[in-house]
Structure 1
């Protein structure tokens, strides 16, 4: 019974806040019921479209999350077997098993702290435009007054 009373109170509150809208709805209902039926059908289909769109987007989002989770699990599985770390190791990141210290450091790989190695992977690519193409333009900067602009 309280549920019905709450619905009636909400409708009465809507009528008090929007008297002009309610008056237009009543006039349409009495004068042109077919037009009111069309408006009601449009509103119903619009709301139904929003509900269907929300459901489809929710299902699509769940599918994308499941797909990403599956990909991450496959990557973790590949890393564990390629890195040589068994599933039951105490360190979840495999730092101690790969030659690091107890905190996951990499001391065995870099014996000297602060040592930097630079590897040249490839030469700089040659210019694609011939050297004789283009002109050098000499320019000179001049000061202008901002007040004149």
Structure 2
């Protein structure tokens, strides 16, 4: 059962009295695995939608109230002042690993990979930056500018990159 719906049947053979405990364990394990997979699919959809939405917003074509409202509903905090930094990646960790690290260290950050070897990081302006740790982790070239509103964030993103 998943969300109250029967989605499959598991069969065990043997004496029902001896198998009752094992059957319950098998049922609970199967339900847990299905629920976990369902949650993974939902999380992947949400991540992909956030990435697509950020690409639209940062690409300059996404200033419509509908997109900003959707960003707000997804918890992206579009009106938060941000500092945009464009990283050129030369070897080292791939953009996904760096993005995950940045977003775990700096809550409410946005990370978009506009090109194969680059990462656009928009961190909240009010969050203190641990520069030595960041520079140690990055060892890359950084281009940055302070963004206090949407148009400034969009200007910080080169049009060829977003």
Q: For this structure pair, what is the TM-score category when the shorter chain's length is used for normalisation?
A: 0.3 to 0.5
Higher relative strand content:
2
Normalised TM-score (structure 1): 0.34
Q: Which has the larger radius of gyration?
A: 1
Which structure has more RCO (C-alpha within 8 Å, separation ≥ 6)? 2
Higher relative helix content:
1
